[in-house]
């Protein structure tokens, strides 16, 4: 009997689970599970959102010219080499649809963002997971995993959920050694948190096989708006634009994102506050006897003695109203990923974790 069937690979996709927002039986919770900016978006962006309601009856721009020009002016990038999407998730999906298909391979790292694998499978391609070294991207292992079928390589730098990163020199070397038919995708979702780091923008200008993608969901505090963008060679961007839906970004999203991009003073303040609190939090967690890698993001990743201990700690945190993220689905069962909140929130968090650890002795 003939029946309706999805394309090969679709039913292999595991449903993506975002960070939880609610706990049963608790009215007030402290959410530290989705790497959101605890200070929210720029006040100017909030004001812009209120003003954008006057144009809700109008279709949004299909070219995103105002937003692309804002990115161009602030970051010094050619506007005709920029594409905007519904978060960087959409651009990841467009890349897989446009440059991979049946018989092709898409590489991502061992603890890489889940959407790389999901988007590859949705495009009919075969996802290839490459081992990391000490929870850090290993370019030599990536090069050794490439073949004539490799069409895309996704590297989050800094990486989510590990918080680690590699140098631009290593990325440049990788771009030189991968096959000629392969496009290297640098996911800079957390690039703004790193000092003296452009996410790979300068490499894109000199390399024909690199595209950089970014999001406004993290330091810009616009997760609810769903805005991302990419910067790449003209021919790559032109191909993506042909696949992108014409009205993918709403009027409010475009206007709010443009205003947020221009308010770099606010972004610098958020970065300074986050990085100071993050480094302090890591030292305090280590002082409690937990291993914790250096992080270049807005989250930390403490390691517990066992998977059971990590899960028990998460359960105890929930009982006190804290929501963090288990990362067993990222092959990190002994870890918890914790978003860096403001200093007072992190102080409360540490007290609860300390209570748990003392009770374990």
The pLDDT of residue 102 is 96
> Which pLDDT score, from 0 to 100, does residue 9 have?
83
For residue 38, what pLDDT band results from cuts at 50, 70 and 90? very high
Task: Tell me what pLDDT residue 20 has.
Answer: 65
User: Which pLDDT tens digit goes with each residue over 73-115?
Assistant: 999 999 999 999 999 999 999 999 999 999 999 999 999 999 9
3-state helix, strand, coil in the chain (%, to 5): 45, 15, 40
* pLDDT tens-digit readout, 183-239: 999 999 999 999 999 999 999 999 999 999 999 999 999 999 999 999 999 999 999
Token digits of residue 127:
């996802």
Q: What is the mean pLDDT of residues 329-349?
A: 97
On the CB side of 191, CA atoms within 13 Å amount to 21
The pLDDT tens digits of the residues spanning 260-274 come to 999 999 999 999 999
Which residues have C-beta within 8 Å of that of residue 236, sequence separation ≥ 6? 183, 211
pLDDT of 347 > 90? The answer is: yes
Domain ranges of the chain: 17-40+265-360, 43-262
Q: In angstroms, rounded to a whole number, what is the distance separating the alpha carbons of residues 60 and 69?
A: 16
Residue 68 has pLDDT above 90, yes or no: yes
Give the closest residue to 299 by CA, choosing from 347, 343, 336: 336
Assign a CATH topology to domain 17-40+265-360: 3.90.1150
Give pLDDT, residue 21: 64
* Three-class HEC string of 86-124: CHHHHHHHHHHHHHCCCCCEEEEECCCCHHHHHHHHHCC
Structure tokens at 276: 């100071």
User: Per-residue pLDDT averaged across 50-71, rounded?
Assistant: 96
| CATH architecture, range 43-262 | 3-Layer(aba) Sandwich (3.40)
Q: Which helix (H) or strand (E) holds 167?
A: none
Residues forming beta bridges with residue 211, ordered by sequence position: 185
Please tell me whether residue 282 adopts helix, strand or coil conformation. helix
**How distant, in Å, are the alpha carbons of 156, 196, 333, 352 from that of 211?**
12, 19, 32, 42
């Amino acid at each position: 009997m003939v029946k309706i069937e999805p394309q090969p690979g679709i039913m292999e996709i595991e449903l993506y689970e975002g960070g939880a927002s609610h706990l049963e039986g608790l009215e007030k919770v402290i959410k530290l599970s989705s790497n959101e900016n605890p200070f929210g978006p720029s006040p100017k962006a909030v004001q812009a959102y209120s003003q954008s309601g006057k144009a809700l009856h109008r279709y949004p721009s299909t070219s995103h010219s105002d937003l692309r020009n804002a990115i161009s002016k602030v970051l010094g990038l050619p506007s005709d080499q920029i594409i905007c999407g519904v978060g960087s998730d959409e651009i990841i999906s467009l890349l897989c649809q446009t440059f991979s298909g049946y018989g092709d391979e898409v590489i991502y790292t061992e603890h890489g963002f889940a959407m790389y694998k999901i988007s590859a499978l949705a495009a009919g391609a075969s996802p290839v997971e490459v081992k990391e070294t000490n929870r850090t991207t290993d370019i030599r292992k990536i090069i050794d995993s490439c073949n004539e079928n490799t069409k895309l390589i996704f590297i989050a730098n800094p990486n989510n959920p590990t918080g680690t990163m590699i140098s631009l020199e290593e990325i440049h070397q990788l771009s030189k050694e991968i096959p000629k038919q392969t496009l290297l995708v640098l996911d800079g979702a957390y690039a703004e948190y790193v000092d003296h780091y452009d996410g790979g923008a300068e490499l894109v200008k000199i390399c024909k096989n690199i595209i950089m993608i970014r999001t406004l969901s993290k330091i810009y505090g616009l997760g609810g708006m769903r805005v991302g963008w990419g910067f790449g060679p003209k021919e790559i961007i032109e191909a993506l634009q042909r696949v992108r839906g014409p009205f993918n970004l709403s009027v409010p999203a475009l206007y709010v994102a443009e205003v947020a991009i221009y308010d770099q003073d606010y972004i610098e303040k958020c970065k300074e506050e986050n990085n100071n609190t993050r480094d302090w939090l890591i030292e305090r967690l280590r002082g409690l006897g937990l291993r914790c890698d250096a992080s270049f993001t807005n989250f930390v990743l403490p390691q517990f003695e066992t998977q059971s201990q990590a899960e028990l700690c998460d359960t105890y945190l929930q009982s006190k109203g804290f929501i963090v993220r288990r990362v067993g689905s990222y092959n990190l069962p002994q870890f918890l990923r914790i978003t860096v909140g403001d200093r007072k929130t992190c102080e409360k968090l540490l007290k609860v974790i300390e209570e748990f650890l003392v009770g374990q002795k």
